[in-house]
A = this chain, B = another copy of it.
């Protein structure tokens, strides 16, 4: 039998688990204090729901669950792949939340401020820092169309990141509608905007010249590419410049208000900046999108945006929605790599007993010591010297020999 976990999935050892539980606890504490309520949805969803969810590339990465019994026999006889499965593992928490809200909205408050912290699945090619099973921590506000929802999500997510010891991070923000309006103004056609955005999203990686080359390869109208190039060459990209070339002034005004408000709230502990090339992968975003990047760590540690059309797909009635998701795995792996140790609430103590001890009394003494320590009951080894060394290396702070109770011997911390 194979002892390794499946490809792209991992076993969590106790030390990493302590960090994960601590991080999740702190995030939940901050979110709950702000009146958000936790819910849970099943990890499996109807495959048709997943397929229709505008999940972008993620739709190619869905793990499908095989049908059973007669249904499966029929599908095999038909010999077609698409009939073999009718359930899939979710690739994010946004589609399940939208379904959940559609199903339970009568029982939920409006606006609904909700927490989800749970596993999602993507059949990606496994690589360092990219897992096939991973945890996301999301907060969402459903039923609030105002940009105050965006502000509150950014404020609360930033406070969660600060609570777990992250600082020196930057919230990057954009509005997809603003980007699309600007590109249309330059002369790109509406139906090509998705592919133009894909190229534009790479601005910080390939630079203005790279963007121009790629758009030419994609055979975009030369005068549109030229207009965009001229704009890019003006250098630093300011929201005012983009606003100046857009017909709808309220989009830029609202984005400016969000940025100003968050700046005030941040008290200088973190930054927020307009990032005109930010697009984000999911197809379901309809308005503002945002990401958190952290000095010294590549990629985003959190991301989100507004998705006003998703719930409507279920109930035929538009429900405004915004979400922000913390990349839990990335956060935990940064802490783990940096040798982070979770502060122990109580020191740990080993209560060592000999085979002839009255075990009921051993456990009662252990319970007594638990007022002050986290107590593990262990059979004493014949030679206790090596046992004490091992306990010490494993982070145990104290021992008590049952026959000498309540005498406690403190162990020196080994580094």
For chain A, the count of residues having a C-beta within 8 Å of the partner chain is 92
Given A104-B11, A151-B359, A370-B33: A17 and B3 interface contact (C-beta under 8 Å): no
A316 CA to B253 CA, complexed, in Å: 68
Question: Which residues of A64-78 are within 8 A (CB) of B?
Answer: 64-66, 68, 72-73, 76
Give the B-binding residues of A (Cβ under 8 A).
1-6, 9-14, 17-18, 20-21, 32-35, 37-46, 48-49, 52, 63-66, 68, 72-73, 76, 79-81, 84-85, 87, 89, 99-100, 102-104, 107-109, 111, 113, 119, 123, 133, 144, 146, 148, 151-152, 155, 260-261, 264-265, 313-315, 346, 348, 350, 355, 359-360, 363-364, 366, 370, 374-379, 390, 394
Name the B residues within 8 Å of A108 (CB-CB).
13-14
Name the B residues within 8 Å of A17 (CB-CB).
37-40
Name the B residues within 8 Å of A100 (CB-CB).
11
A56 CA to B109 CA, complexed, in Å: 45
B65 touches A11 (CB 8 A): no
B377 touches A35 (CB 8 A): yes
Which of these, B63, B68, B377, contacts A66 with CB under 8 Å? B63
Q: How far is the CB of A55 from chain B (nearest CB, A)?
A: 13
Q: How far is the CB of A131 from chain B (nearest CB, A)?
A: 9
12 A-B contacts, Cβ less than 8 Å apart?
A2-B48, A2-B99, A3-B315, A5-B42, A9-B44, A11-B40, A11-B104, A65-B65, A65-B89, A84-B84, A111-B378, A146-B379
